[in-house]
Structure 1
Amino acid sequence: MTTSGADPVPRAQSGRPRRADAQRNYELLLAAAKEIFDEQGVDAPLDDVARRAGVGNATMYRHFPTRRELIIAVYADEVTELCARGEGLLGGVPAGDALFDWLRMFVAHVATKRELALVLADDHDGQRSALFRRWHEAMHSTASALLARAQQAGAVRAEVSASDLLALANGTALTGVDSDQTERLLLLVRHGTDVGR
């Protein structure tokens, strides 16, 4: 569950509960698809996904009749995981550290998972726009919760918005720089939002 309650998983994937064996196969396919897409890209043969998951092609196509549905499920799961990690940072970790730890994760997400989202072709029924809106809202809500906590703790200036931080983090991710420079850019963002500045 995301911070805002906005569900980044498309409704087509969140219908009635699956049987235990079907749920296990679904999770195996999702995990295998994440690995295969990371290794080979989103055009990787779907047979490889089924083979990696240890299930037959028929089982895969029962869960994911098209490549598009598999990509949507994989990306939605990535967004859910990113938001859950943000929620996990809301307690215990110092508020400023929690916010920038999550922004670091967000940068890595955009840098490595952007192809998944962009490969989804536009459609006439508006599904792509609805999915993007749901994913954006979930991530924005997570960032907002972490930012509010950091602002209440006096770690970030009051006028900074979640949209500002996500735009800066997104820009950092899209520059394609190495991890050291990414860290330097995030430190610049952090110093620029510090209440002492």
Structure 2
Amino acid sequence: MVEGARRPLRADARRNREKILAAALRVFAAQGLDAHLERIAKEAGVGSATLYRNFPTREALIEAVYRNELARLCDAAPALLAAEPPLEALRAWTRLFLDYVTAKYGMIDALRAIAATGGNPYGHSREMIQAALGALMDACAAAGTIRTDIAPTDVFAALEGIALTSAKPEQRRQAERLLDLTLDGLTARL
């Protein structure tokens, strides 16, 4: 095997890893990033050894949770486009973006600490998000439902602004109104 390359996980190991990541997200959201890792293992239905085999440190687990949420956000774009008309897919994706940002902000101090020690939890995040958003916007433009003079980078900046000012759970309704306002401004005028 090439140095640094990893063998694919067995199906049961992959399921355990996914259960740990889902449990960690729930437990960190409820109890904060200092929650006991044993609590996460119990919530996931795995032993502590399984948790530590997958994530040898708290920082590794936090970074994996962040990357998993990023992947879920970006992977949702094609699935939404397959299930809904393009503009509705874009609208649904912007709500997922809020979920992603809310989870990210809950981990921000830990992610900054990881970055301070030389890790790069944010590596390629912006590009991945803009690619997913670009695919959604391209589908909307092809359907004639949005303006074509607005770049994905501009819409991403608007989404970031909404997230910065309204990403707390108690501000969710306001954030959704702001998303609708942004999407209304993006809608093609006939």
Matched, 1:143 2:136: no
- Residue 146 of structure 1 and its aligned partner are, at CA, apart by 0.2
Matched, 1:25 2:33: no
Q: Are the equivalent residues in 1 in contact too, given 2:29–2:106 (CA < 8 A)?
A: no
Structure 1 runs not aligned, ≥5 long: 1-11
| Compared CA separation, residues 117 and 139, structure 1 to 2 (3 A) | farther
Distance 2:99 2:14 in 1: 28
| Compared CA separation, residues 20 and 195, structure 1 to 2 (3 A) | closer
Distance 1:123 1:29 in 2: 25
Q: Are the equivalent residues in 2 in contact too, given 1:111–1:174 (CA < 8 A)?
A: no
Amino acid at match of 2:17: Y
Matched, 1:191 2:178: no
Structure 2 runs not aligned, ≥5 long: none
Q: Specify which of 49, 55, 62 is matched with residue 64 of structure 1.
A: 55
Matched, 1:38 2:38: no
Residue of structure 2 in register with 1:6 after alignment: none
- Residue 23 of structure 1 and its aligned partner are, at CA, apart by 2.8
Q: Specify which of 55, 69, 77 is matched with residue 78 of structure 1.
A: 69
Q: Are the equivalent residues in 2 in contact too, given 1:50–1:56 (CA < 8 A)?
A: yes
Matched, 1:51 2:42: yes
- Residue 92 of structure 1 and its aligned partner are, at CA, apart by 4.3
Fraction of identical pairs, as percent: 39
- Residue 74 of structure 1 and its aligned partner are, at CA, apart by 1.0
Q: Are the equivalent residues in 2 in contact too, given 1:140–1:162 (CA < 8 A)?
A: yes
What's the Cα RMSD here?
2.2
- Residue 64 of structure 1 and its aligned partner are, at CA, apart by 0.7
Please identify, of 178-187 and 63-72, the stretch whose mean Cα deviation from structure 2 is larger: 178-187
TM-score, normalised to structure 2, is 0.84
| Compared CA separation, residues 21 and 155, structure 1 to 2 (3 A) | closer
TM-score, normalised to structure 1, is 0.81
SS at the partner of 2:81? coil
Amino acid at match of 1:67: R
Residue of structure 2 in register with 1:4 after alignment: none
Amino acid at match of 1:143: L
Residue of structure 2 in register with 1:87 after alignment: 78
Distance 1:148 1:24 in 2: 34
Distance 2:117 2:173 in 1: 42
Residue of structure 1 in register with 2:146 after alignment: 156
Amino acid at match of 1:65: P
